[in-house]
Amino acid sequence: MHTDVVNLTTLEDVTAAAERIADIAMRTPLLPGAWADAHRPLWLKPENLQPIGAFKIRGAANAVARIPVSERARGVVAYSSGNHAQAVAYVAKRFGIPAAIVVPENTPAVKIEATRAHGAEVVVVPITDREIVAERLVAERGATLIPPFDHPDVIAGQGTIGLEIVADLPDVEVVLVPVSGGGLASGVATAIKALCPAARVYGVEPALAGDTAESLAAGRLVRWSTQDRARTIADGLRAEPSELTFAHLRKLLDGIVTVTEEEIRAAVATLATRAHLVAEPSGAVTTAAYLHRAADLPRGRTVAIVSGGNLDPTELAAMLST
């Protein structure tokens, strides 16, 4: 079994990460949901309030901080069209080191602009060439590749969210975390299970990208096609776990629930009108699960991680008007 030989992230890895990222990532508050069900009190962990609008800044900051000082001037490389691109660009700027972000040619101009605004070099390539171009840049420059989830330092960085949840709500009973590549869920579950063994950690996926739910049920990684996973509007949840993250999820998650596209849209609207937060669809799946999957989740003091807030204003407007 592959999963038996994988080294899992520890609480110590996560607490060390928290110290490294303290000057770069925001220490987000827990927001009480005064509008929630009194029998299942809800707090939101608003990672959409991070400087780049998503939790990805935490893992990126920890991974960059771990690069030996002698190697930092050679820079970092990432391939992503989403929040991870912004995160690596922002963190590199804060560290004063160069960043090259490889993006597929269908990336919206606004996202390319946002990445350039952080001072990163943007390399536009055909989508099938992303990895190979990134690897070539790494080889040519002696730069360090910062992967979006499949790395212990990235997992430990995302796990700092779990530390903050426990610090602010020591008697937390249920934590809801979005699952895509699984870096966030792996890190958060590591911290929560170490500090609050009785708390339950549930993953949440769009049903249209429910590969991890199927994989956990099967006890092994079941692969869905890229096209299938791309059907969901939750564009941050279209990745799939790696061996490393799946080993964490199998060991640490108490379960996983899936939500429909309609429920995701409605949760975006609820977060805007009741919590005054702009969440992207991927960031709203946990709220959707809280609102629509109560029967599949334990009762008790619940934290929903709102993982990000980057969406097109016209998209948001459409979800508010339905």
DSSP 145: E
Residue count of the chain, please give it: 322
Please give the angle made by the CA atoms of 165, 171 and 173, to the nearest 5 degrees: 85
Minimum separation from the CB atom of position 155 to a second copy (A): 24
- Binders of a second copy among 240-269, rule CB under 8 A? 269
Minimum separation from the CB atom of position 92 to a second copy (A): 14
> Is residue 275 near a second copy by the rule CB under 8 A?
yes
**DSSP bridge pairs for 202:** 176, 255
- Binders of a second copy among 169-208, rule CB under 8 A? none
- Per the annotation, the verdict on 215 as an active-site residue is no
Minimum separation from the CB atom of position 128 to a second copy (A): 31
Q: Which stretch binds a second copy (CB under 8 A): 21-29, 191-199, 212-220, 235-243?
A: 21-29
User: Distance from first CA to last CA of the chain, Å, rounded?
Assistant: 48
- Out of 80, 186, 282, 307, which one is annotated catalytic? 307
Minimum separation from the CB atom of position 253 to a second copy (A): 27
Q: Which of 6, 8, 26, 294 binds a second copy (CB under 8 A)?
A: 26
Q: Which residue has the tokens 């993250």?
A: 245
> Is residue 145 near a second copy by the rule CB under 8 A?
no
Distance of alpha carbon 179 from alpha carbon 320, whole angstroms: 25
- Out of 56, 81, 111, 186, which one is annotated catalytic? 56
- Per the annotation, the verdict on 56 as an active-site residue is yes
Question: What number of other Cβ atoms are within 10 A of residue 96's Cβ?
Answer: 9
Please report the DSSP string for 156-218 in residue order.
HHHHHHHHHHHHH-TT--EEEEE-SSSHHHHHHHHHHHHH-TTSEEEEEEEGGGTHHHHHHHH
> Is residue 281 near a second copy by the rule CB under 8 A?
no
Q: Distances from the Cα of 133 to the Cαs of 74, 129, 139, in angstroms? A: 16, 6, 10
Q: Which of 7, 70, 227, 314 binds a second copy (CB under 8 A)?
A: 314
Question: What number of other Cβ atoms are within 10 A of residue 221's Cβ?
Answer: 21
Give the number of residues in contact with a second copy, rule: CB under 8 A: 31
- Binders of a second copy among 27-56, rule CB under 8 A? 27-29, 31-32, 34, 46, 48-49, 51-53
Minimum separation from the CB atom of position 49 to a second copy (A): 6
Binding mask 55-94 for a second copy (x = CB under 8 A): -----------------------------------x----
Query: 150 vs 315, which CB is nearer to a second copy?
Result: 315
Question: What number of other Cβ atoms are within 10 A of residue 43's Cβ?
Answer: 20
Distance of alpha carbon 241 from alpha carbon 252, whole angstroms: 14
3-state secondary structure of 96: coil
> Is residue 279 near a second copy by the rule CB under 8 A?
yes
Please give the residue ranges that form the binding site for a second copy (CB under 8 A). Answer: 26-29, 31-32, 34, 46, 48-49, 51-53, 90, 269, 272-273, 275-279, 309-310, 313-314, 316-318, 320-321
Catalytic residues, by residue number, are 56, 307
